[in-house]
Chain A
Amino acid sequence: MPSSKKNSRLMLGNFLQTYGLLLMVVLLVVIFTFLNQRFLTPENFKNILEQNGALAIIAVGVTFSIISGNFDLSTGAVVALAGVVLALVFTQTNNMVLAILAALGTTILIALFNGVLIAYLKINSMIVTLACMIWARGVALGLTNADSIPFQSPFINFMNKSSFLGISPIIWLIIVSYLVGWFILSRTRLGRYTYALGGDIEATKQAGVNTSLYTIFIFLLSAVLVWVGTIVTITRLSAGAPNAVYGLEFDAIVAVIIGGSAMNGGEGNLRKTLIGMLFIAILNNGLSTLGMRDSSFYLYKGCIILVALFFEVISRQILKKANPAVVLDNSSAG
């Protein structure tokens, strides 16, 4: 390929990869503001973050999973189940601390269960977490007989009404999750091995890393974030609802992928997830403020997501074509 053509492809690819999604987010904001004046206000922005708080926080854990080469389809269902557990414990004991710990215990136990199946029995993560999505939802429904369990608590009021430095607790949780996630991903062994696992499990094992153990650690980390997401969810609902956050896991995965972390694992970071998350959150909020009925909502949402996905894949392919050295296999000659 002549050098000038190659260079311009390289520049285009790089540009699209780095800024493409950001541009789309801006585009969305512009469109929605045009259609609805009230879109571009601080209150609405706060709304966007709070409505999608659970999504934002869970997306951090999902980022880790995807970078390490696993899919986690269970996050939404586990949020619902942990929320139900929390509500049940609280309504029985009136002890919020105990309830919150019970919720943590739930997410951690489930993560261990899934993790062992995936890391030690080597079952495909898609199957294990798909199954988990189904059975966790089922257990949640079974425990509550398909009803929600509403409850009141000073904790809930605190979470919903107070603010520190002008920022609500939910948004603080989001901020802290991303900061902690970023730190772990870039500065700790867990983060380093997350990338390693996604890059080449065999080579990582050869280097002496206990890959199974670290896979479990990643699931545990995700479990903690799912727990925080649960807290956000029950706060907003003021109830433990088995039907809560249907489809959350898919939104989270899409957020990570649209953001630019590769589907096969091995690359990505939280900044990308953040933008992807904003994209979905703005999309969710914008479409619903347009007051459209459910069907159109899903139609538009689905199509726009597909467009964004397209963009991401095409820009990646442009980049690959321009820089053949960026070929991830080590095939030797002959």
Chain B
Amino acid sequence: MEQSPPILPVLEMQGITKRFPGVLALDQVDFQVNRGEIHSLIGQNGAGKSTLMKILAGVYSADEGLIKMNGQPVHFKHPRDSLDKGIVTVYQELSLLPNLTVAENIFLGREPGHRLVIDNRTIYVRSQEILNSLGIHNIDLKAKIASVPLAQRQLVEIAKALSHDLKVLVLDEPTAPLTNEDTIHLFEILNRLRAQGISIIFITHRLKEVITYCDQGTVLRNGKTIGTVAIKNTNEKGLIEMMIGQEMESFYRSDGHGEQAQADVLLEVQNLSVGEKIQNVNFQLHRGEIVGVTGLLGAGQNELARAIFGIQEHVNGTIKRSGKTIKIESPGDAVEQGICLLTENRKEEGLILDMNVRENITLPSLAMFRQSPYFPFIDNRKERLSADDYIKKVNVITRSSAARMRTLSGGNQQKSIVARWLLRDLEVLIFVEPTRGIDVGAKAEIYRLLSSLANEGKAIIVVSTDHIEIMGVSDRIFVMYQGRLIKQFNKADVTEENLLAEIQGGSRHE
């Protein structure tokens, strides 16, 4: 082979630093992608992957650092700039219009034709060409996106990206909702793109896929680049080692809660399934224990929590409460059975921002504050005392219980929701991503709270994708993978490595 001059990387991001108020999101990050390679960007939630990609997409601008394409510096002030340079990002929430056809979506906003009239023929012809170049033969261009399955919709997004002059394709967790077959098919397509000289940045948590399909991998942690490796020189274990931090903050650790196996079974789930998302889940939940449920995004842990609270459809199986089989079809049913759920979207699903703190806290418990069974008015004093009591117990910081919920910080809002369910005095508490988006101090408080609740004899389920948090907080850990509960760890048996391994599917092969 002739000696050819070194080819410049198609994309270089050098020394990228980005600050948000109170947070250093990216700290002198270097990231480089070569032409015609599939490069994976790996790291835990909060490591900085999305921020880095948003800077690349022109949505944010970096405080420091440089971006170069093919050696030339570029500046992205607006998403259009990035698109014009051939960088297209496909997010998890696809940007397709469900009521338009595949071809119409591919050329949306850039339809060929005269000033007024659209040249539909050209749209269909060129769309077909693009699909052909990708080797896709089973998508009907005339079908409306609404009737196209999710896996194929992703392919349409890629086709749409190709209708630009595509140089770099960024895919954010594309495989989370896909089956194995679809994933294989997706990567066949991506390989074709690679062969055409297009580079692909693949953001994922699924290390198996990184090992199988990618050329290079870059690991970020806490906003810093840990390193870039050629995938053929490493394996899953090696990647995991790069991801593991030295700092395991001690406030995650909590005291054990004694022997759990002997305690009462407050909740039992048998043969639970949710549509196609979850199959055959069985477990028992004891009084006084904290069970952490974790897994990859899309593994089914959220659906599990929702099924137990009555807000999930297509649920089959048995749920038993202290030995008695029950039916949960609505949140009302669940609450009556002493079960509550704190969701991960406190703003959309938990808080009533325009009501004050007290009203938010007492909402599920209004019947308790009737002046008398015949007099339907609220006993204001009793309500206020009760609310203040729990505000203090949970340490919600607010100038008064009459303050609008909107004015509280994220951490205090989350604590208010905890107070709300504590007031109702339920035995089974399910927390989904309880510390999402709140500061370190409030997080610590919540962990302490969980611990003391368990000590009081409540049974707690914590669902989180943050495996460190799960390790710190739980007495037992359940790992979900592709809709099944594949492992139940005891606290003593778990290490970060074997936990991460199980999260990735363990020794299972699909």
Cβ contact within 8 Å between A196 and B100: yes
Q: Which residue of A lies closest to B79 (CB)?
A: A206
Among A189, A323, A328, A332, the one with the most B-chain Cβ atoms within 10 Å of its Cβ is A332
Q: Which of A190, A206, A332, A334 contacts B301 (CB 8 A)?
A: A334
Cβ contact within 8 Å between B176 and A334: yes
Cβ contact within 8 Å between B117 and A188: yes
Asked whether any CB of chain A lies closer than 8 Å to the CB of B142, the reply is no
Q: A196-B108, A207-B108, A207-B109 are in contact. Are A332 and B96 (CB under 8 A)?
A: no
Cβ contact within 8 Å between A330 and B118: no
Cβ contact within 8 Å between A200 and B97: yes
Q: Which residue of A lies closest to B296 (CB)?
A: A334
Q: Which residue of B lies closest to A206 (CB)?
A: B95
Which residues, 116 to 174 on B, are CB-close (under 8 Å) to A? Answer: 116-118, 120, 146-150, 153, 173
Asked whether any CB of chain A lies closer than 8 Å to the CB of B75, the reply is no
Asked whether any CB of chain A lies closer than 8 Å to the CB of B298, the reply is yes
Asked whether any CB of chain B lies closer than 8 Å to the CB of A121, the reply is no
Q: Which of B79, B95, B100, B297 contacts A195 (CB 8 A)?
A: B100
The digit string for B88-109, where 1 denotes a CB below 8 A from any CB of A, is 0000111111111000100011
Question: From residue A240, how far is it (CB to closest CB) to chain B in Å?
Answer: 34
Cβ contact within 8 Å between B177 and A332: yes
Cβ contact within 8 Å between A195 and B99: yes
Cβ contact within 8 Å between A334 and B109: no
Asked whether any CB of chain B lies closer than 8 Å to the CB of A267, the reply is yes
Cβ contact within 8 Å between A203 and B96: yes
Asked whether any CB of chain B lies closer than 8 Å to the CB of A326, the reply is yes
Cβ contact within 8 Å between A328 and B176: no
Question: From residue B44, how far is it (CB to closest CB) to chain A in Å?
Answer: 16
Distance, CA A95 to CA B100, complexed state (A): 47
Q: Which of A190, A196, A208, A329 contacts B110 (CB 8 A)?
A: A208
Asked whether any CB of chain A lies closer than 8 Å to the CB of B277, the reply is yes
Q: A192-B104, A208-B110, A325-B147 are in contact. Are A199 and B97 (CB under 8 A)?
A: yes
Which residues, 289 to 334 on A, are CB-close (under 8 Å) to B? Answer: 323, 325-330, 332-334
Distance, CA A230 to CA B219, complexed state (A): 67
Distance, CA A199 to CA B277, complexed state (A): 27
Cβ contact within 8 Å between B99 and A330: no
Asked whether any CB of chain A lies closer than 8 Å to the CB of B111, the reply is yes
Among A266, A267, A323, A333, the one with the most B-chain Cβ atoms within 10 Å of its Cβ is A333
Q: A187-B117, A208-B109 are in contact. Are A266 and B99 (CB under 8 A)?
A: yes
Asked whether any CB of chain B lies closer than 8 Å to the CB of A286, the reply is no
Cβ contact within 8 Å between B108 and A209: yes
Asked whether any CB of chain B lies closer than 8 Å to the CB of A181, the reply is no
Cβ contact within 8 Å between B300 and A328: no
Q: Which of B95, B104, B146, B302 contacts A328 (CB 8 A)?
A: B146
Question: From residue A172, how far is it (CB to closest CB) to chain B in Å?
Answer: 24
Asked whether any CB of chain B lies closer than 8 Å to the CB of A204, the reply is yes
Distance, CA A226 to CA B222, complexed state (A): 61
Please indicate the chain B residues that have their CB under 8 angstroms from the CB of A188 in the complex: 116-118
Distance, CA A311 to CA B294, complexed state (A): 46
Cβ contact within 8 Å between A187 and B99: no
Among A198, A206, A207, A208, the one with the most B-chain Cβ atoms within 10 Å of its Cβ is A207
Distance, CA A328 to CA B146, complexed state (A): 6
Please indicate the chain A residues that have their CB under 8 angstroms from the CB of B277 in the complex: 333
Q: How many A-B residue pairs have CB under 8 A?
A: 90
Q: Which residue of A lies closest to B93 (CB)?
A: A330
Cβ contact within 8 Å between B109 and A204: yes
Q: Which residue of B lies closest to A266 (CB)?
A: B99
Question: From residue A10, how far is it (CB to closest CB) to chain B in Å?
Answer: 12
Cβ contact within 8 Å between B118 and A187: yes
Please indicate the chain A residues that have their CB under 8 angstroms from the CB of B302 in the complex: 334
Asked whether any CB of chain A lies closer than 8 Å to the CB of B299, the reply is yes
Q: Which of A200, A208, A332 contacts B80 (CB 8 A)?
A: A208
Cβ contact within 8 Å between A328 and B99: yes
Cβ contact within 8 Å between B94 and A189: no
Q: A327-B146, A333-B176 are in contact. Are A187 and B120 (CB under 8 A)?
A: yes
Distance, CA A59 to CA B93, complexed state (A): 35
Distance, CA A334 to CA B109, complexed state (A): 31
Q: A192-B111, A192-B118, A208-B109 are in contact. Are A332 and B298 (CB under 8 A)?
A: yes
Please indicate the chain B residues that have their CB under 8 angstroms from the CB of A198 in the complex: 99
Distance, CA A325 to CA B120, complexed state (A): 26
Q: Which residue of A lies closest to B113 (CB)?
A: A189
Which residues, 399 to 420 on B, are CB-close (under 8 Å) to A? Answer: none
Cβ contact within 8 Å between B297 and A333: yes
Distance, CA A199 to CA B79, complexed state (A): 22
Distance, CA A93 to CA B99, complexed state (A): 50
Which residues, 246 to 303 on A, are CB-close (under 8 Å) to B? Answer: 266-267
Question: From residue A2, how far is it (CB to closest CB) to chain B in Å?
Answer: 15
Please indicate the chain A residues that have their CB under 8 angstroms from the CB of B99 in the complex: 195, 198-199, 266-267, 328
Which residues, 283 to 303 on B, are CB-close (under 8 Å) to A? Answer: 296-303
Q: A195-B100, A207-B108, A208-B110 are in contact. Are A334 and B297 (CB under 8 A)?
A: yes
Q: Which of A190, A195, A266, A330 contacts B153 (CB 8 A)?
A: A330
The digit string for A58-77, where 1 denotes a CB below 8 A from any CB of B, is 00000000000000000000
Question: From residue A256, how far is it (CB to closest CB) to chain B in Å?
Answer: 16
Please indicate the chain A residues that have their CB under 8 angstroms from the CB of B93 in the complex: 330, 332
Q: Which residue of A lies closest to B119 (CB)?
A: A187
Question: From residue A187, how far is it (CB to closest CB) to chain B in Å?
Answer: 5
Please indicate the chain A residues that have their CB under 8 angstroms from the CB of B111 in the complex: 189, 192
Q: A204-B108, A328-B146, A334-B299 are in contact. Are A199 and B116 (CB under 8 A)?
A: no
Cβ contact within 8 Å between B147 and A189: no
Distance, CA A198 to CA B146, complexed state (A): 14
The digit string for B173-209, where 1 denotes a CB below 8 A from any CB of A, is 1001100000000000000000000000000000000
Extra contacts besides A190-B116, A330-B98, A330-B153 (6): CB < 8 Å? A189-B118, A192-B100, A208-B110, A266-B97, A326-B146, A333-B298
7 A-B pairs with the lowest CB-CB distances in the bound complex, closest first: A333-B298, A207-B109, A266-B99, A199-B97, A334-B298, A208-B109, A333-B177
Can you report 15 A-B residue pairs in the complex whose CB atoms are below 8 A from each other? A187-B118, A188-B116, A188-B117, A192-B111, A200-B97, A203-B96, A204-B97, A206-B95, A208-B109, A323-B147, A325-B146, A326-B147, A333-B277, A334-B176, A334-B296
